[in-house]
Amino acid sequence: MRTLPAFIVIALLTCTSIATAGVGDPTLRTDHPHYAGEGAFQTPTGCVDFATRLLPADKASDQDRAIALYQWLLAHQFHLHSPQECFVPGKVPGAKNDDYEMVVYDAARGRFSYGYGLCGTVHAWNEIYFSALGMNSRRRAFPGHTNSEIEYGGQWHTFDTDMAGLLFRKDGVVAGYEDIIKDPSILNLPQGGGRSLPHYAFAWPSDFNSMKQGWQEIIKSGDGSKWYKMYRSGYEALPGIVHLRRGETFTRYFNRDHFGGPADRRFWHVQKNGPMRDWTFVNQGEPKHDGPKSNSRGNASYCNAQFIYTPDLSTDAWREGTMNISNNLGSSAASPRLRSKDGKEASVVFTHFSPYVICGDPVDDENPMTGKATGGLTLTGKATGNVTLEISTNSGQSWQPLGKLTGSFTSDLTEQTKGRYGWWLRFTFADKAGLDELTFTTVSQMNQAMYPRLKPEGSHVIYHAASRRVLPLVPDFGLSEKEISTIEDSARRSANLKYTPRDAKQTLAYTTTNNKPGQVVFRVPLLSERDRLMEVSAAARFRVRVPPPQGADFHMSISNDDGKTWQPFAKAPLPADNEYSSGWMYGSAKVADTASRDALLRVNLYAGGYTTGLITAELYGIYQTPPPRACKLTYAWKENGSLKTHTESIPAGQESHGFDVKTGKTITDEYVRMSVE
């Protein structure tokens, strides 16, 4: 793998004269009663607002609100092996199903790309949603299982969204571990709280028997102390933001067989023909359970998001898709359209980022993770002379050479990009060489429950463009200390913090060398005057003793006056009964409009007089973009086997636009497409 000197990469990250246009952060929200799309579910707060929207604002109890969110979670998450990504340098996702260091614990990644996981994973995500509801939440161990516990009314209550289990006390309150230990007869009470709520006994007899046996074990334990209480085990950092450039189309295919059938499916999971579950409340409307009957026999799977970007190389429109342009790069209507103006070496970096994980068509139709896959990223084009191609999947921290391009070319780069959320491709040429045509086709996996669905007999759709885009800055802690300095402001690192590159055996990237607080500082760059840094979203995972020492302080702060002042924005409070040996601090902070070139983000690590360390960190800069260009929307669905479409033109500069789509009584979603003009 080829790396660049630090000063070159820093320039690549911070110096660009482009002013992006296109459409920043376009979202769609429909009036579908359950699956309204990312316009409703872009943030945890949006999900909570949607889940509780039908409750009386002034009369709903905390339990009413918690149950409403419980119902939403059942309808948007299903049980399956947990998703994995490239979180540990030197390890490959999918090699072991129980490798929890590779599991996705970011609720945003789970919401946009997956929508499925095992009990420990979904209940880690649930912490973020119940926190957005204004309630304390934690995971709680259970024999062979994990639950969510929610605090309201001064007590803890068990909400199991994996096994669809609620147990109610005699007074109608959802029971918790301590309630059931104190009164085992709760297990035999009529369940559902007088409502048609999913509850034990669920429609899986073997699973229900396991749950009953598990509760009996907990009752026998006496005080429940052996069943771990785990705080801060989930987080949310990845912004759910798409940025489309001129010449780009973004299509979401609800039909996973759009590419040609089961043998051609593109996904990111280890399962024959892709992730799927036929015993779930997803896709079944409001989850219901009446006696022995429930609407739990859904058919949940995934869908695909496809980005096709063909920049116009004969005008300056192509600049919208780049991160770095050498000063001697120019464009022309003549061949080569993208060329060096002075014959000396010139280069340009094209980029892609979305909240949808890049997937692929596995050669064996089962395993795109450890096996070969195609169709995740395809590059086609036409080059004059020799053009050097390189790729980076860590925001320019390191580069991999991909050889020379000449004449008409097609390159499948799925193996380099699968399991990632973006890529950077660098093209370098000199003399009379250059580029005449380029098309980037990126295919990602998408959570089926995030598709903005139409409803029968007419649907209303709201388009909104928030004029934002994202620059991911996730430090690659597998690199050397010199290489990591492209993102870390190493001069500001505290003297008692030691960096060691991570690998399959080395868990900590930074370790304190004494019992005092340690700090590490990362920089988030200002890109241009028009693409102003508006906000930073970040998360950091730390190690902590069990039980947590008194005075432990794990938090993040932000500065955009070059470190003169710092504003705390994300703190990880650890209750005395926490029994989880690591945790996440996460949050977002607005950035003031100042003349500062960068925002600085400081991670504080203090374990109350003991050594500690930083395992990993994620940073995302959210930037303002110019007013949106014109955009064309196309919805497609089937009625009685016939394909129907509706096309809507959104004028340039329009941030919000509502329109109606006429649909029949029985419809099946096919795709929705955005095209930037």
The reported pLDDT for the residue numbered 128 is 98
CB contact at 8 A, 570 and 538: yes
The reported pLDDT for the residue numbered 596 is 61
Integer Cα distance of 170 and 552 in angstroms: 40
CB contact at 8 A, 167 and 182: no
Question: Does position 6 have pLDDT exceeding 50, yes or no?
Answer: no
Question: 516 pLDDT band (50/70/90 cuts)?
Answer: very high
Joined together, the tokens standing for residue 178 give: 């301590």
Joined together, the tokens standing for residue 204 give: 């899986």
Region(s) of the chain under CATH 2.60.120: 505-624
- Average pLDDT score over residue span 613-632: 96
Note the pLDDT tens digit of each residue in 356-401: 999 999 999 999 999 999 999 999 999 999 999 999 999 999 999 9
> Which of 219, 221, 215 is closest to 191 using CA atoms?
215
CB contact at 8 A, 658 and 460: yes
The reported pLDDT for the residue numbered 200 is 67
Q: What is the 3-state secondary structure (H, E, C) of 395-458?
A: CCCCEEEEEEEEEEEEEECHHHHCCCCEEEEEEEECCCCEEEEEEEEEEEEEEHHHCCCCCCCC
CATH code: domain 505-624 is: 2.60.120
> Which of 271, 257, 371 is closest to 304 using CA atoms?
257
- Note the Cα 589 to chain centre separation in Å: 18
The reported pLDDT for the residue numbered 228 is 95
Least confident of 2-6, 80-84, 594-598, 673-677: 2-6
The backbone region for 419, taken as left when phi is positive above 0, alpha when psi lies in -120 to 50, beta otherwise, is left
Question: 17 pLDDT band (50/70/90 cuts)?
Answer: very low
E-strand ranges in 57-189 read: 78-79, 116-117, 136-142, 145-152, 155-159
Question: 16 pLDDT band (50/70/90 cuts)?
Answer: very low
Note the pLDDT tens digit of each residue in 573-587: 999 999 999 999 999
Residue type, 260: G
CB contact at 8 A, 34 and 75: yes
How many other C-beta atoms are found inside a 10 Å radius of the C-beta of residue 559?
20
Exposed/middle/buried for residue 40 (C-beta within 10 Å: 0-12, 13-18, 19+):
buried
* Strand partners for 106: 235
Question: Does position 208 have pLDDT exceeding 90, yes or no?
Answer: no
Rounded percentage of the chain residues whose pLDDT exceeds 90: 85
> Which of 413, 353, 367 is closest to 265 using CA atoms?
367
Cα angle value 412/441/539 (rounded, 5°): 95
Question: 195 pLDDT band (50/70/90 cuts)?
Answer: confident
Integer Cα distance of 106 and 328 in angstroms: 41
Question: 598 pLDDT band (50/70/90 cuts)?
Answer: confident
Q: CA dist 484 to 217, 347, 471, 585, Å?
A: 48, 23, 17, 21
CATH fold label, 43-239 = C8orf32 fold (3.10.620)
Question: Does position 202 have pLDDT exceeding 80, yes or no?
Answer: no
Contacts 24+ apart (CB under 8 A), 118-121: 118/79, 118/80, 118/81, 118/82, 118/162, 119/79, 119/145, 119/146, 119/147, 119/160, 119/162, 119/163, 120/82, 120/146, 121/82, 121/83
Mean model confidence pLDDT for the chain: 93
Cis peptide preceding 201, ω within 30 of 0: yes
Region(s) of the chain under CATH 3.10.620: 43-239
Question: 205 pLDDT band (50/70/90 cuts)?
Answer: low
What's 110's DSSP letter? I
Name the range with the highest mean pLDDT among 155-169, 456-470, 526-540: 456-470
Cα angle value 608/610/612 (rounded, 5°): 100
Question: Does position 415 have pLDDT exceeding 80, yes or no?
Answer: yes
- Average pLDDT score over residue span 183-187: 91
Strands 78-79 and 116-117: parallel
Question: 519 pLDDT band (50/70/90 cuts)?
Answer: very high
